[in-house]
Amino acid sequence: MKLQKISSAKCFDGEQLRYVHYSDVLQCEMKFSIFLPPKAKEGAVPVIYWLSGLTCTDENFVTKAGAQEYASDFGVAIVAPDTSPRGIDVPDDPEEAYDFGLGAGFYLNATQEPWSKHYNMYDYIVHELPQLIASEFPINSDLSSISGHSMGGHGALTIALKNPELFRSVSAFAPICSPMQCPWGQKAFGNYLGDDESRWKKYDTIELIRKSTERLPILIDQGDADNFLEAQLKPKLLEQAAMAADYPISLRIQSGYDHSYFFVASFIGEHIKFHAKNLL
Amino acid sequence: MKLQKISSAKCFDGEQLRYVHYSDVLQCEMKFSIFLPPKAKEGAVPVIYWLSGLTCTDENFVTKAGAQEYASDFGVAIVAPDTSPRGIDVPDDPEEAYDFGLGAGFYLNATQEPWSKHYNMYDYIVHELPQLIASEFPINSDLSSISGHSMGGHGALTIALKNPELFRSVSAFAPICSPMQCPWGQKAFGNYLGDDESRWKKYDTIELIRKSTERLPILIDQGDADNFLEAQLKPKLLEQAAMAADYPISLRIQSGYDHSYFFVASFIGEHIKFHAKNLL
Name the residue in chain A with its Cα closest to that of B73.
Answer: A266
Domain ranges of chain B: 4-279
- Cα(A30)–Cα(A78) distance, rounded to whole angstroms? 17
Residue B112 distance to chain A (closest CA, Å):
38
Rama region for B13: left / alpha / beta (φ>0; ψ in -120 to 50; rest):
left
Q: Which residues is A144 bridged to in the sheet?
A: A47
Q: How far is CA B229 from CA A74, A241, A258, B178, B258, in A?
A: 32, 57, 39, 12, 9
Band (pLDDT 50/70/90 cuts) for residue A262 is very high
Q: How far is CA B72 from CA B23, B37, B178, B273, in A?
A: 29, 5, 33, 11
Residue range A122-161, pLDDT digits in tens: 999 999 999 999 999 999 999 999 999 999 999 999 999 9
Question: According to the model, what pLDDT value does residue B2 have?
Answer: 83
- Please report, in angstroms and rounded to a whole number, the separation of the first and last CA atoms in chain B: 34
Average pLDDT, chain A: 97
- Chain B CB contacts of A256 under 8 Å are 10
Residue B265's nearest CA partner among B233, B232, B221 is B221
Q: Are strands A170-173 and A218-223 parallel, antiparallel or unpaired?
A: parallel
Give the residue-averaged pLDDT of B8-19.
Answer: 98
Question: According to the model, what pLDDT value does residue A2 have?
Answer: 83
Which residues are CB-neighbours of A97 under 8 A, at least 6 positions away? none
Name the residue in chain A with its Cα closest to that of B61.
Answer: A64
Task: Judge whether A270 is closer than 8 Å to chain B, CB to CB.
Answer: no
B161 sits in which H/E element = helix B151-162
Contact A19, A5 (CB under 8 A): yes
Band (pLDDT 50/70/90 cuts) for residue B1 is low
E strand spans, A67-106: 77-81
Architecture of domain B4-279: 3-Layer(aba) Sandwich (3.40)
pLDDT higher than 80, residue B12: yes
E strand spans, B59-130: 77-81
Which residues are CB-neighbours of A213 under 8 A, at least 6 positions away? none
**Burial group, residue B127, by CB count within 10 angstroms (0-12, 13-18, 19+):** middle
SS3 category, A20: strand
- Cα(A270)–Cα(B115) distance, rounded to whole angstroms? 49
pLDDT higher than 70, residue B122: yes
Amino acid at A73: D
Residue A234 distance to chain B (closest CA, Å):
21
Residue range A229-244, pLDDT digits in tens: 999 999 999 999 999 9
Q: Are strands A139-149 and B28-36 parallel, antiparallel or unpaired?
A: unpaired
The count of CB pairs under 8 A between chains A and B is 65
Residue range A54-105, pLDDT digits in tens: 999 999 999 999 999 999 999 999 999 999 999 999 999 999 999 999 999 9
Helices (H), chain A: 59-64, 68-74, 121-123, 129-136, 151-162, 183-193, 205-211, 235-244, 261-279
- Chain A CB contacts of B261 under 8 Å are 63
Residue range B243-274, pLDDT digits in tens: 999 999 999 999 999 999 999 999 999 999 99
SS3 category, A19: strand
Residue A226 annotated as catalytic: yes
Range A124-134 burial, b when 16+ CB lie within 10 A, else e = bbbebbbebbb
- Cα(B8)–Cα(A237) distance, rounded to whole angstroms? 28
